[in-house]
Amino acid sequence: MEQIDYINTVKDKIKNKNQKYYILTFGCQLNENDSEKIAGMLEEMGYTKTDNISDSDLIIFNTCCVRENAEERLFGKIGEVKRLKEEKNTIIAIGGCMMQEKSMLEKIQKSYKYVDIVFGTHTIQTLPEDLYKVLIKRQKAKEILYIDGEIIEGLPIKRNDKYRASVTIMYGCNNFCTYCIVPYVRGRERSRHPNDILDEIKSLAQNGYKEITLLGQNVNSYGNDKFKYCKSKEAVEIDTFAKLLREICKIEGIEKVKFMSPHPKDFTDDVIEAIKDNPKISRMIHMPLQSGNSKVLKEMNRKYTKEDFLNLIDKMKTEIPDIHLSTDIIVGFPGETDIEFEDTLDVVRKVEFEQIFMFIYSPREGTVAASRDDQIPDDIKHKRFNRLKEIYDKQVEIQNEKYIGTIQNVLIEGPSKNDPNKLTGRTDSNKVIVFTPNGTEKIGEYVNLKITENHRWFLIGEIL
Ligand code: 5AD
Ligand code: SF4
């Protein structure tokens, strides 16, 4: 509420000046969702979006610090915009996970003095005030906060898509996997009140949204914090992830529900039952493996063994026969031997994931794994990465062939990038299908397609 005055003052200040913002988001879907909220606030203040950085009056970088390469890219970008600052005094704002890291914040303040605003993951709601300070008071703004604050509800939001929407159900992470910086920059697990989540999804459904992706660092520990960070003190009945899934599936107009990411250690039977009972829940489940070796998993603090993971997958495949799986894998964790890495390949062969997000281990300052003195040399990390990729590529080829002749129900997303006369959509398992329209189908509606060809990175379909 206190930001409304700032919103109105900034709105007045930039009125009739055709002010434009450019926003660049690094990292995960949670950051994308934060950027949608940032865009929502900016549009409320009268800014309009541009995709041309040189044409903008306000540049926002929403940063990620999960791996080193995101940081390198950011510093490249900040260097590039110095010219714009000098030529036309463009306002430069940097927010997101990296700004929650003390060393990064200091680096920005020391070496990139032309940056006007820095804000953290927990202070995006103060952006109107930050802009007010820069535009009216001519001050720099720095709003980095302790990281376990009360959940802020009701921020305006400008969504990137008209049919698919992400809804953050919880913030933060309590797991402290030893390689991961997230718990340090995003704070403790904080679940949103189910009423706020359900209201948001109902309103999305009323506005024509069909697919919802529920977001959180560890969605299946939803409710474990007993909702103590919620502003609303209304009694909570929907206090587990399984119950939340069931309630969301009841919302009319929502055709598909996805979620990202669960943790294998918390994938309880009630969640499996909820998926089984609700065909609206996507059959593509993301199940981050990280490593297939029990010793490495222990050192990663993942709290499951190779056998636990394989048993869980077996159970899921038995209970939900049409399931597809995707995963995250890190290669080259400190101390990982060739033999231990073989276990990762073994799990990959056994599970046959449809999609693997592969990462080379990247030491993150302040984490337990980064301080180990048995870091793996880069050439070995790359060799392992390439071996994993080779196996994965072969599996993708075999899996794609299995789609030929099947019928897929897909949401029509829009014209194909390579051929505007064709349309595209995705299978439930996230494979792109390109097809020739027959004139009656509409973007944002579902269509049944028979798969006729496999082109490795996409499939060809025919309207039925
Ligand atoms: N190095 C490499 N990959 C990492 N991830 C998280 N931290 C690191 C790191 N330090 C990967 C994990 C996680 C995904 C989002 O990013 O696989 O699931
Ligand atoms: Fe990082 Fe582990 Fe939390 Fe995922 S569960 S955000 S990998 S600490």
Q: CA–CA separation, 143 vs 129, rounded Å?
A: 10
Q: What is the mean pLDDT of residues 329-349?
A: 98
pLDDT tens digit sequence for 429-453: 999 999 999 888 889 999 999 999 9
Q: List, by residue range, all CATH 3.30.750.210 domains of the chain.
A: 161-282
Distance CA 32, CA 34 (A): 5
Does this model's pTM top 0.75? My answer is yes
Confidence at 70, pLDDT banded by 50, 70, 90:
confident
Res. 78: pLDDT tops 80: yes
Shortest-distance ligand to the CA of residue 178:
2
Question: What was the pLDDT predicted at 252?
Answer: 97
CB 177 near ligand 2, within 6 Å: yes
Mean pLDDT, residues 314-333 taken together: 97
The CB density around residue 111, as the number of other CB atoms within 10 Å, is 11
- Architecture of the structural domain at 407-463: Beta Barrel (2.40)
User: Which of 301, 359, 368, 385 maximizes ligand 1 atoms within 8 Å of its Cβ, making it the mutation to test the pocket?
Assistant: 359
Locate 437 and state its tokens. Answer: 């329209």
Numbered ranges of CATH 2.40.50.140 in the chain: 407-463
Within the chain, all domains assigned CATH 3.30.750.200 are found at 286-401
Instruction: Note the pLDDT of residue 363.
Output: 96
Q: Where in the chain is the domain with CATH 3.40.50.12160?
A: 4-135
Identity (one letter) of the amino acid at 161?
A: D
Q: Cα torsion at 346, 352, 354, 359 (round to 10°)?
A: 0
Q: How far is the CA of 46 from the centre of ligand 1 (A)?
A: 37
Dist. CA 401–CA 368, nearest whole Å: 43
| pLDDT (tens digit per residue) in 18-27 | 999 999 999 9
**Residue 357 Cβ < 6 Å to ligand 2:** no
Bin 172: left if φ > 0, else alpha if -120 < ψ < 50, else beta: left
For residues 102 and 281, the model is more confident at 281
Q: 415-433, pLDDT tens digit by residue? A: 998 888 999 999 999 999 9
pLDDT at 141: 74
What value does the mean pLDDT take over residues 278-287?
97
CATH number for domain 4-135, candidates 1.20.1090.10, 3.40.710.10, 3.40.50.12160, 1.10.10.1100: 3.40.50.12160
CATH number for the segment(s) 286-401: 3.30.750.200
User: Strand, helix or coil at 432?
Assistant: strand
Half-sphere exposure of 331 (CA within 13 A, CB side): 26
Which of 309, 328, 331 to mutate for ligand 1's pocket (most ligand atoms within 8 Å of CB)? Answer: 328
- The residue-averaged pLDDT of 311-335 equals 97
Q: How confident is the model at residue 411 (pLDDT cuts 50, 70, 90)?
A: very high
Give residue-wise pLDDT tens across range 224-275. Answer: 999 999 988 888 999 999 999 999 999 999 999 999 999 999 999 999 999 9
pLDDT at 71 over 90: no
- Please report, for residues 204, 279, 412, 417, 443, the alpha-carbon distance to residue 253 in angstroms, rounded to integers and kept in the order given: 9, 14, 16, 28, 16
In ligand 1, the atom with minimum distance to the C-alpha of 66 is 7
Taking 80 as the threshold, does the pLDDT of residue 146 lie above it? no
Q: Could you report the per-residue pLDDT of 86-140, keeping only the tens digit for each?
A: 999 999 999 999 998 888 888 998 899 999 999 988 888 889 999 999 988 788 8
Mean pLDDT of 29-53: 95
Q: Does the pLDDT of residue 202 top 90, yes or no?
A: yes
Ligand 1 atom nearest residue 367's Cα: 10
Q: Which listed CATH number (3.40.50.150, 3.30.750.210, 1.10.3210.10, 3.10.129.10) goes with 161-282? A: 3.30.750.210
Mean pLDDT rounded to a whole number for the chain = 93
The C-alpha atoms of residue 221 and residue 210 are separated, in whole angstroms, by 25
Q: pLDDT at residue 149 above 80?
A: no
Nearest residue (by CA) to ligand 2, atom 5, is 175
Instruction: Report the nearest atom of ligand 2 relative to the CA of 186.
Output: 6
Query: What is residue 1's predicted lDDT score, i.e. its pLDDT?
Result: 65
Q: Determine the pLDDT at residue 131.
A: 92
Q: Give residue-wise pLDDT tens across range 387-407.
A: 999 999 999 999 999 999 999
Confidence of residue 145 (pLDDT cuts 50, 70, 90): low
Minimum-distance ligand to the CA of 357? 1
- Hey, whose CA ends up nearest to atom 4 of ligand 2? 217
